[in-house]
Amino acid sequence: MAFLVCVLIFIGLPLAELAVLLESSEKVGLLRTLALCVLTGVLGASLARWQGAQTLRLIQKDLASGQMPAKRLVDGAMILCAGVVLLTPGFITDLIGFVVLFPLTRPIFREPLKCWLIKKIKSGTINVNVGGQAHPEQAPDDRDYIDVDEV
């Protein structure tokens, strides 16, 4: 399953992007297509920076009031990923990036991400170390480790 997902992401998505870019350049011209790609990249990076700064302020506010900012930390990670995707040339990735970037549509991705993370924690694929101290019987191995207090 993971191999199929990787094939779709690394081969299928660039091919789809190329097809959309070629079709766009036929409809509106090459220069306009390139300008639109640059415009969406710059606009996306600016929005990601603004959303990231706002989320960072909210995280600091939550920490100052003694609350765990788990939801905001996940949002911050999603904003970072959206910013990276928006810098990738192409209209499909731009659409995905903008949808993840906007606060009103971000929960569409947050809940499945949360469910995936909980499933990985329960299956033991990802180990959670609460409190910062590993137990001797849980010696580190080749698995990924994420310290999480609350998701």
For the chain, give every domain's residue range. Answer: 40-127
Residues of the chain with pLDDT > 90, as a percent, come to: 53
Comparing 32 with 115, the larger pLDDT belongs to: 32
Max CA separation in the chain (angstroms) = 63
pLDDT band at residue 104 under the 50/70/90 scheme: very high
| Exposure string for 68-79, b = 16+ CB within 10 A, e = fewer | ebebbbbbbebb
- pLDDT above 80: residue 127: no
- pLDDT above 80: residue 144: no
pTM beyond 0.85, yes or no: no
pLDDT digits (tens, 9 = 90+) for 72-87: 988 998 999 999 999 8
Task: Enumerate residues 6+ apart whose C-beta is below 8 A from 130.
Answer: 147, 148, 149
pLDDT band at residue 23 under the 50/70/90 scheme: very high
- pLDDT above 90: residue 61: yes
What is the per-residue pLDDT for 68?
Answer: 87
Distance, in Å, from the CA atom of 125 to the CA atom of 49, rounded to the nearest integer, reads 32
